[in-house]
Amino acid sequence: MGRLSTHVLDTTLGVPAAGVMIDLYRLPNPGAGDPRLHIKSAVTNSEGRTGEPLLSADTLETGVYELAFHTGDYFRGLGVALTSPAFLDEIVIRFGLADPHGNYHVPLLLSPYSYSTYRGS
């Protein structure tokens, strides 16, 4: 049973990032020329996670995807003074899913001026 999940950690405060808006997109096959397809939106909970997987067994397909994390809105909501425009207003992570039965976890560790990600388990 494959699935795609994520979570967001605020490394500035050392806490899960609650209330981060996330958009998931699927990119077209190379040469198709179609625009990216918006699949769903989600907001992180108090644990910095979405309430359910972004994709699960019946919706997970091989291909290239993007997660767009609206981090500028998150930091502004906390009262953090950001530059105008914000250095990292939206963080987009592009990744490939090669196994429709695999478990893919894409964590985001962030601050107003840096971020890191990896393939989690």
Q: Is the pLDDT of residue 42 over 70?
A: yes
Q: Tell me the per-residue pLDDT of 65-83, one tens digit each, with 9 for 90 and over.
A: 999 999 999 999 999 999 9
Superfamily of domain 3-117: Transthyretin/hydroxyisourate hydrolase domain (2.60.40.180)
Q: Where are the domains of the chain?
A: 3-117
Q: Which amino acid is at 45?
A: N
CA distance to 59, 75, 99, 102, per residue, from 62 (Å): 10, 33, 6, 10
Q: How buried is residue 105: exposed, middle or buried, by Cβ count under 10 Å (0-12/13-18/19+)?
A: middle
User: Can you tell me whether residue 93 is helix, strand or coil?
Assistant: strand
Q: Which helix (H) or strand (E) holds 75?
A: helix 71-77
Residues 81-108: pLDDT tens digits?
999 999 999 999 999 999 999 999 999 9
Report CA Rg, the chain. Answer: 15
